[in-house]
A and B are shown apart, each in its own frame.
Chain A
Amino acid sequence: MKIAYLVILLLLTGCMTKPVPVRMEFPNAPQSLLKKCEELKTLEPKAGGTPITELLKTVVTNYTMYYECSNKVDGWNEWYSNIKKIYDEVGK
């Protein structure tokens, strides 16, 4: 009986599973997406009041910075969805 157990155990070793020894590197992201978004600009109040055009220019600069940051987020989304699609196909 003991021998039978040993034989069954021996045969079961053939059913052992193992991880597939493939090396997968994490895909690189575009360099421009790795830069942090800039801090929005503030305005130094001037004695006797600040001209409205100065405020306007700061707002325009901040809008510009917002859209630059928004482009980065869009870029990340596009990068992720494409990379996911590509790597989901592997091993199918």
Chain B
Amino acid sequence: MWLLHLLPDSLLEFIVNTVLILGIVLTLLSFFVLNRILRFIPGLASYHTLIQIVSVVILAAGLYFKGGYVTEMMWREEVKRVQEELNQAKNKAAEVVVKVEEKVVFKDRVVRERGETIIQYVDREIVKKEEVVKYIENCPVPAEIIDIHNQAAQINAAARGEKK
């Protein structure tokens, strides 16, 4: 049936209907009319059965092609419908991408700005506070603590198989 794709719809429909109608007409003629006519033509009377068989074969082929054609048309409609739905889905997906992109960019910007604000606040205010200055001078963070912090920051390296 895939060969039907190569023919235009109108030509396909014409061929299928022609074969079917021809099959119906020939079958009716061969079974109900032709025998009465051929009775008077002795030379052709022996071909009566052959004509009937050919008529039935054409009718069967016509029915088969009609069934195939109807199925083919249903498939084409289905393909068209699904393709249209996919195009709509593609457009909706593009809208989702824009929406999510804007949301993530906005949230990232807010997070970065808040982080920078806190660091600026530490540099601007915290380091000037008397008790903090006193603490910084008297209690520097030991290298061991920094090492532990760094190890914690690089925990993921172990999962990647890197030695840290």
Instruction: List residues of chain B with CB within 8 A of the CB of A86.
Output: 89, 92-93, 96
Contacts of A64 in B (CB 8 A): 111-112, 114-116
Least CB distance from A40 to B in Å reads: 4
**Which of A13, A45, A52, A91 is the one whose CB lies under 8 Å from B147?**
A45
Chain A residues within an 8 Å CB radius of B93: 27-28, 82-83, 86-87
Among A53-85, those with CB < 8 Å from B are 53-64, 67-68, 71-72, 74-75, 78-79, 82-83
Chain A residues positioned under 8 Å from B103 (CB to CB): 75, 78
Query: Which residues in A have their C-beta under 8 angstroms from that of B1?
Result: 13-14, 16, 18
Q: Do residues A71 and B104 form an inter-chain contact, with CB atoms below 8 A?
A: yes
Query: Interface majority SS on A: helix, strand, loop or mixed?
Result: helix
**Which residues of A are found within 8 Å of B159, using beta-carbon distances?**
none
Chain B residue total in the interface (Cβ 8 A): 56
A53-B127, A86-B89 are known contacts. Are A32 and B108 too (CB-CB below 8 A)? Answer: yes
With A18-B2, A42-B154, A58-B149: A52-B136 Cβ-Cβ less than 8 Å: yes
How far apart are the CA atoms of A28 and B145 in the complex, in Å? 44
Contact surface of B with A, Cβ cutoff 8 Å: 1-2, 64, 67-68, 71, 75, 78-79, 82-83, 85-86, 89-90, 92-94, 96-101, 103-105, 107-108, 111-112, 114-116, 118-119, 122-123, 126-127, 132, 135-136, 139-143, 145-147, 149-150, 153-154, 156
